[in-house]
Amino acid sequence: MSYHRSEDAVRGRGRGRGRGRGAPAAAGSAAVVRQTATFGGLPVCYQYNSGTCARTAVKQGVCKDAKGTHYSHACNWMDKATSQFCLKDHPRHNNH
């Protein structure tokens, strides 16, 4: 490796930098910040909302994944007029 190529690698200008999924947003573009639906202090289960939750049921309306993270079974549909999540005890896939 030449001196210039090694210096570029140290400065973060090596091959492949700035391309692909991990690339930073272009200057001047606005990043979209997506709200996360939570209910009862737990993140909402997206599997439940798609109608296919295969996680372990903990109690009525709560499941947990293999890592032990608990999720709430609540609707994650957002009303754009109020910017609020529905959070009722029905899945999104057949109600909104």
Is 20 a domain residue?
no
Is 21 a domain residue?
no
Q: What is the pLDDT of residue 95?
A: 74
Q: Which tens digit of pLDDT belongs to each residue from 7-31?
A: 444 444 445 544 445 555 556 667 7
Q: What is the mean pLDDT of the chain?
A: 78
Given pLDDT bands bounded at 50, 70 and 90, which one contains residue 93? confident
Q: Which tens digit of pLDDT belongs to each residue from 58-78?
A: 999 999 999 999 999 999 999
Is 82 a domain residue?
yes
Q: What is the pLDDT of residue 94?
A: 73
Say how far apart CA 27 and CA 19 lie, in whole Å: 14
Is 5 a domain residue?
no
Of 4, 94, 83, nearest to 48 by C-alpha is 94
Is 50 exceeded by the pLDDT of residue 80?
Answer: yes
Domain tally for the chain? 1
